[in-house]
């Protein structure tokens, strides 16, 4: 089954914790703190794989977690950083933030892209030694790795896209101009998935053509599989609009052209302006006067019109030569630029609120303190001194005193309670 969208959950590795350790060696007195730093957590990296053509693998595995970094050790030993988790996807896959729709990366070449960064390792206690705090018994915890849901969206990498109503001969045309072998039959929607073929024009010259499954009226609003099919036209540098000039389906080919172009514009204004060449197929079944009428209509409106009989490859060489020459004038296949990540709202280190309820002083809205409290050892006097200095510097102590706190009153900070001491 052809799968071109998937939603997965990513969790980069957490950084390793810093170590609390003291140097111990014979004949070395007061060796001092020597706790090593934690290692970096593993990144989650996306990489294009030319052997993949769908996102089917992501239907069965939806959670990807990188390994955490190793904790620091004694003797200033830094923990080992975790290896990156590499996820292979087909060329042309967009990675989007599932929550905001922001484009994180366009995996269209061989360059790997880091989508979720692993957390940095925490500092060992040797970093916290000062002239007045020579025996720090606390270290810093590792930072958590990035965690997010992403949507993978495959947009085929093709130079030329074949569009048109069902059963107009697109698959037949692809089969005679390239090495692709799509299923061909005389009924609607024979082609249910896009088919890529390489058109070789001689030594060192070729381009990729995509057979896009038949579009129908309303495809621009998602009728049928409209959006799924139109997604794969977006990168195409040029469109070949295939028409059944014989009217074998009981439709007017000119009306077909207008309807499909309307759907293109509804889906994307940029797509509606994409260069088009009109291909009149099944000319052997059409009246010559009718073919002349259709040709005159398009030529008068600036479109290049090519009458062909795809089933017997009549007129296809001339068409492909013209396509190859026009492609040389067009820019390369569209590559989507990654959209910048919104700047996080940085909480001021002095932001907090104070609320008194039932004799308990609640310090709230101070998430920035969590990192400090995670590395405080309540059983270590110097660690508690460090915590007291932080909350004094940021104004919490003064705010408590201004609120009338007394010695022995209970203070609650981030659900951790302690008795206030002057």
**Domain containing 9 — which CATH number?**
2.70.210.12
Does 290 lie in the same domain as 203? yes
- 368 located within any domain: yes
Q: Are 142 and 132 in contact (CB under 8 A)?
A: no
- Domain ends where: 154, 174, 193? 154
420 exposure class (CB count in 10 Å sphere: 0-12, 13-18, 19+): middle
Q: What is the CA angle 267-273-278, rounded to 5?
A: 100
Co-location of 237 and 94 in the same domain:
no
pLDDT of residue 223: 42
- What angle (nearest 5°) sits at the alpha carbon of residue 282, between those of residues 277 and 288? 90
142 and 7 part of one domain: yes
CATH of the domain at 238: 3.40.50.300
Q: What are the residues whose beta carbons fall under 8 Å from the beta carbon of 340, sequence distance 6 or more?
A: none
Instruction: With CA atoms as reference, report the closest residue to 158 among 323, 16, 273, 295.
Output: 323
Number of compact structural domains in the chain = 3
Exposure b/e, 186-210, CB count within 10 A at least 16 = b: eeeebbebbbbbebeeeeeeebbbb
Same domain? 250 vs 360: no
Domain-embedded: residue 339 = no
- Indicate whether 279 and 409 sit together in one domain: no
Does 180 lie in the same domain as 77? no
CB 143, CB 317: distance < 8 Å: no
In a domain, 342, yes or no: no
Residues 183 and 300 in one domain: yes
CATH number of the domain to which 382 belongs: 3.30.300.350
Domain boundary among 154, 178, 211: 154
Whether 338 is in a domain gets the answer no
> Which of 310, 327, 344 is at the close of a domain?
327
Contacts of 156 (CB under 8 A, 6+ apart): 92, 194, 196, 210, 232, 235
**340 domain-assigned:** no
Q: Which domain holds residue 228?
A: 160-327
Same structural domain, 198 and 139: no
Q: Is residue 262 part of a domain?
A: yes
pLDDT values of the chain reduced to their tens digit, one per residue, 422 residues: 456 789 999 999 999 999 989 988 777 777 789 999 999 999 999 999 988 888 888 988 999 999 999 999 998 999 999 999 999 999 999 999 999 999 999 999 889 999 999 999 999 988 888 877 788 887 888 999 999 999 999 888 889 989 888 888 888 999 999 876 766 555 445 555 677 888 998 777 889 998 887 565 544 444 444 446 677 788 899 999 999 998 877 889 999 899 888 888 888 888 888 999 999 999 988 888 999 999 999 999 999 999 999 989 999 999 999 999 999 999 988 888 888 887 655 555 568 889 999 889 999 888 778 777 776 767 677 677 778 888 888 889 999 999 989 888 999 988 888 888 86
pLDDT for 219 equals 40
Write out the DSSP string of 11-31: EPPPPPPPP--B--BTTB-S-
Residue 344 belongs to some domain of the structure = no
**Could you identify the residue written with the tokens 């070949």?**
240
Judgement on whether residues 288 and 387 belong to the same structural domain of the protein: no
Domain co-membership, 181 together with 318: yes
Task: Indicate if 186 and 145 belong to the same structural domain.
Answer: no
Q: What pTM value is reported for the model?
A: 0.73
11 occurs within a structural domain = yes
**Same structural domain, 103 and 218:** no
Residue-wise over 88-121: b if at least 16 C-beta within 10 A, else e?
bbbbbbbbbbeeeeeebbbbbeeebbebbbbbbb
Tokens of 14: 């957490």
- C-alpha closest to that of 219 among 277, 153, 265: 265
Q: CA gyration radius for the chain?
A: 33
Specify the pLDDT at position 145.
95
What is the reported pLDDT for 222?
43
Instruction: Report the phi/psi class of residue 217: left, alpha or beta, with left for phi > 0 and alpha for psi in -120 to 50.
Output: beta
Torsion of CA 162, 164, 168, 170, to 10 degrees: 10
């Amino acid at each position: 089954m052809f799968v071109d969208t998937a939603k997965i959950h990513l969790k980069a590795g957490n950084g390793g914790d810093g170590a609390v350790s003291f140097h111990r060696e014979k004949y070395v007195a007061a060796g001092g703190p020597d706790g090593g730093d934690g290692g970096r957590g593993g990144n989650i990296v996306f990489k294009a794989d030319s052997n993949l053509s769908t996102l089917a693998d992501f239907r069965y595995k939806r959670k990807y977690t990188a390994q955490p970094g190793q904790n620091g050790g004694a003797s200033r030993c830094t923990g080992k950083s975790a290896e990156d988790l590499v996820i292979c996807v087909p060329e042309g896959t967009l990675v989007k933030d599932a929550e905001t729709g922001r484009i994180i990366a366009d995996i269209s070449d061989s360059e790997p892209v880091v989508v979720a960064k692993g957390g940095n390792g925490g500092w060992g206690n040797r970093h916290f030694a000062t002239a007045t705090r020579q025996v720090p018994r606390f270290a810093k915890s590792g930072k958590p790795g990035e965690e997010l849901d992403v949507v993978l969206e495959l947009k085929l990498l093709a130079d030329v896209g074949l569009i048109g109503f069902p059963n107009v001969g697109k698959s037949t045309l692809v089969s005679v101009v390239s090495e692709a072998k799509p299923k061909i039959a005389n009924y609607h929607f024979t082609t249910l998935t896009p088919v890529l073929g390489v058109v070789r024009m001689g030594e060192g010259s070729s381009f990729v053509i995509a057979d896009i499954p038949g579009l129908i009226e309303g495809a621009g609003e998602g009728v049928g599989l409209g959006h799924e099919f139109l997604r794969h036209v977006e990168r195409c540098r040029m469109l070949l609009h295939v028409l059944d000039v014989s009217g074998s389906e009981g439709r007017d080919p000119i009306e077909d052209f207008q309807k499909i172009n309307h759907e293109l514009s509804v889906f994307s204004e940029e797509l509606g302006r994409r260069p088009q060449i009109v291909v009149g197929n099944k000319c052997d079944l059409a009246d010559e006067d009718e073919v002349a009428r259709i040709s005159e209509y398009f030529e008068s409106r600036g479109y290049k019109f090519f009458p062909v009989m795809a089933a017997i490859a009549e007129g296809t060489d001339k068409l492909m030569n013209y396509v190859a020459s026009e492609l040389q004038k067009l820019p390369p296949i569209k590559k989507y630029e990654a959209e910048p990540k919104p700047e996080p709202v940085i909480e001021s280190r002095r932001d907090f609120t104070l609320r008194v309820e039932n004799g308990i002083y609640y310090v709230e809205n101070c998430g920035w303190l969590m990192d400090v409290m995670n590395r405080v050892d309540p059983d270590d006097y110097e660690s508690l001194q460090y915590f007291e200095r932080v909350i004094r510097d940021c104004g919490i102590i003064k705010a408590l005193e201004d609120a009338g706190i007394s010695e022995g009153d209970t203070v609650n900070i981030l659900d951790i309670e302690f008795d206030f001491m002057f």
